[in-house]
Amino acid sequence: MSKHDRHLLDLSSLTILVADDNDVMRSTFKQLLRTYGARKIFEAHEGAEALQQIEERAIDILITNWDMRPIDGIETVRILRRHPVAEKQMMPVIMVSAHSTPRNVRYARDCGVNEFLTKPVAPIDLYLRLEEIILRPRAFIKCPSYIGPDRHRHDGRRYSGPKRRVQDQGKGQNGETAAEPASKPAKEASA
């Protein structure tokens, strides 16, 4: 059985915005999204146009290239994460880039990107990133140093097994501890 042998999600009701300054890549993404069943697809040539479209429409998911001019994908996400309207601020973003070193992926994540899609693009990977956003949405974190999806994919709340980590020593089964600090610096928060 193929590892992808499961029902396709119906993407026809989702509104997806593709921002890429390269016409071939934009067209390819559009065609791929159509193949996967998406019907409401909008395009932008760069970040400023993408942000304008986001103002004008109810976009569900943004797929954006990193390197664009004048506003690149990272700057677009930074601006989006400070949007005054909550639905727009929390819009899931897939960053597409050939800047695929771990350092760059971490940087994109720290700017508030939900998913990273590496170029060269494997068609199935685009769908898998969409599926991840749709089926496994993460909490949204706002703190002075970060605004974006929870950068921890693992949801500790669902774990009910024994606590074996050093930092868990002295805690009960549910993690309660008498010596827990009242507060921690924001950067140590789960964000």
C-alpha to C-alpha distance for 41 and 31, rounded to whole angstroms: 10
Kindly state whether residue 175 participates in binding other proteins, applying the rule CB under 8 A.
yes
Helix (H) / strand (E) element for 118: namely strand 115-118
* Cβ pair 94, 62 in contact under 8 A: yes
CB-hemisphere CA count at 13 Å for 120? 1
Q: Distances in Å between the alpha carbon of 31 and those of 14, 25, 123?
A: 15, 10, 10
Tokens standing for residue 92: 């899931």
Is residue 178 close enough to count as binding other proteins by CB under 8 A? Answer: no
Please report whether residue 61 would count as binding other proteins according to CB under 8 A.
Answer: yes
Q: Does position 188 bind other proteins by CB under 8 A? A: yes
**Given candidates 70, 144, 161, 162, which one binds other proteins under the rule CB under 8 A?**
144
Is 161 a binding residue for other proteins by CB under 8 A? The answer is: no
Which of these ranges, 41-49, 50-58, 75-83, 116-124, lies near other proteins under the rule CB under 8 A?
A: 116-124
* 179 in contact with other proteins (CB under 8 A): no
- Of the residues 160, 161, 178, 184, which one makes contact with other proteins according to CB under 8 A: 184
Quick one: which segment of 6-14, 48-56, 75-83 binds other proteins (CB under 8 A)? 6-14
Residue 78 beta carbon to other proteins: minimum distance, rounded to whole angstroms:
16
* b/e per residue 109-127 (b: at least 16 CB within 10 A): bebbbbbbbeeeeeeeebb
82 binds other proteins (CB under 8 A): no
- Binding-site size for other proteins (CB under 8 A) equals 74
58 binds other proteins (CB under 8 A): no
- CA distance linking residue 19 with residue 25, whole number of Å: 10
Cα 41 to Cα 56: distance, rounded to the nearest angstrom: 14
Q: Which stretch binds other proteins (CB under 8 A): 48-56, 76-84, 120-128?
A: 120-128
